[in-house]
Structure 1
Amino acid sequence: MSTPIGRQPRRLPAWVKVLSAFALVLAVLFAGFRLSLIPGLKDLFGTETRDRSGPALLESIQDLSRYQAATGNFQVVVDLEKDTKFVPDAIRGSRTLYVGAGSVDSYVDLGKVGDGDVTVNEDRTAATLRLPHAALAKPALDPDRSYAVSKERGLFDRLGDLFSDNPNGEQAVQKLAVRHIGEAAKESGLNARAESNTTRMLQGLLHSLGFEKVRVTYGD
């Protein structure tokens, strides 16, 4: 139908155009979600994962003199929330509930024991050993026992995930889990347990070699 002469075509307001574009984006997202619910289409349009990684290369070998005397297993629930000032959480913000499970080793570095730290009597029936105090290794997060319980993200965060290189990234909560596990290990008495186990190990070893008295102390 032609427009009458002298009458300009009606222009839509700018906010209507923005709302229409926003509705189109939502329609595409919900359409993809609904297609995934139709039986058979999931396999037809499903993704396939291939491992094209090359072989692992050995870069270096280090000789270890640490005696791993104890291991502590820990679990922590991380509740990480990110908010934007003056913006509702439904628009911009995120909250992740993550269960992190990991372990921390406690070791005694026998490589630091010098000649003056070991004394033996003339009859070789008594020995005294002075060892460094036990120390904690870095916490190791177990990916098989760690998982996200829930993820809540605002609209802008969800749209940003579509264009992100790592939409399911959990680096922030994983780092928090490792930090909390490390802090818990310091308060757990794990080092004291490691020193006790090291003492029993050395006493049993030296008793088998004929020593009747074995004294083990710890100090810097």
Structure 2
Amino acid sequence: MTTPIRRDRGRMPRWAKAVSAVVLVLAVFFAGIWLSVLPGLKDLFGTETHDRSGPALLQSIQDMSRYDAASGNFQIVVDLEKDTKYLPDAVRGSRTLYVGAGTVDAYVDLGKVGEDDVRVNEERTSATLKLPHARLGKPALDPDRSYAVSKQRGLLDRLGDLFSDNPNSEQAVQKLAVRHIGEAAKDTELTRRAETNTTRMLKGLLGSLGFEKVKVSYGN
């Protein structure tokens, strides 16, 4: 009696697995060659940049009452790496080294000074002012001094950049740079320097108006 041969339809034959592996390797290989040749093709045909932007429109005007009394310059190297589970970095992943340079201003809001915060004697020779404490402004990244040192992207990420509306986007590292610069500014003496400069400015201004004694203090 002959035993019937069982065929497992749910499993892929070994030869099919081998062919699939070879096809995948060849696809990755030729895709890498195509990506390496593509920049050269762009240079071959040449590119031109035309600025067709419309005129800037004024949306609003705000009165400024703060006195920017100090400014700090900062620089940070951002190392941002993104990995994907179960896939090697050569296939999916990215790492960017970015040098971010920016400034943070420290200011005193003179608009919050009320009538009870300013006292002047009858002879107008002595003045006492109580001002709010200096505060830190928002970090401002300088695009002329900020740049990407290196960019490493996996094959799938490079393919995605070709079809993306914003290829080689640096928004993530720029946001990290701004955040780190803002945190670093909190550990400096910018606010103290701003209050010292504001006091010096007010004493000089009121002194030119005839005040012989000027006292400036800071509170909440």
State TM-score, norm by structure 1.
Answer: 0.86
Decide whether aligned partners of structure 1 residues 115 and 162 sit closer, same or farther in structure 2, where only a CA change above 3 A counts. same
Alignment-derived partner of residue 7 in structure 1: none
Distance (whole Å) between structure 2 residues aligned to residue 67 and residue 85 of structure 1: 50
Q: CA deviation at 1:30?
A: 3.5
| Amino-acid identity (%) | 73
Alignment-derived partner of residue 146 in structure 2: 146
Alignment-derived partner of residue 213 in structure 2: 213
Among candidates 32, 45, 64, match of residue 38 of structure 2: 32
Q: CA deviation at 1:106?
A: 0.8
Q: CA deviation at 1:130?
A: 0.2
SS where residue 210 of structure 2 aligns?
A: coil
2:37 counterpart letter in structure 1: A
Decide whether aligned partners of structure 1 residues 160 and 149 sit closer, same or farther in structure 2, where only a CA change above 3 A counts. same
CA RMSD of aligned residues (A): 1.9
Count of equivalent residues: 204
Distance (whole Å) between structure 2 residues aligned to residue 136 and residue 155 of structure 1: 42
Distance (whole Å) between structure 2 residues aligned to residue 104 and residue 183 of structure 1: 10
The reply to whether residue 62 of structure 1 matches residue 62 of structure 2 is yes
SS where residue 217 of structure 1 aligns?
A: strand
Alignment-derived partner of residue 81 in structure 1: 81
Q: CA deviation at 1:31?
A: 3.4
Distance (whole Å) between structure 1 residues aligned to residue 110 and residue 130 of structure 2: 10
1:96 counterpart letter in structure 2: T
Distance (whole Å) between structure 1 residues aligned to residue 37 and residue 49 of structure 2: 23
Segments of 5+ residues of structure 2 without an aligned counterpart are 1-15
The reply to whether residue 106 of structure 1 matches residue 112 of structure 2 is no
Alignment-derived partner of residue 203 in structure 1: 203
Distance (whole Å) between structure 2 residues aligned to residue 170 and residue 121 of structure 1: 57
2:70–2:197: 8 Å Cα contact kept in structure 1? Answer: yes
Decide whether aligned partners of structure 1 residues 33 and 139 sit closer, same or farther in structure 2, where only a CA change above 3 A counts. closer
Which piece of structure 1 moves more, 142-151 or 88-97? 88-97
Distance (whole Å) between structure 1 residues aligned to residue 154 and residue 26 of structure 2: 20
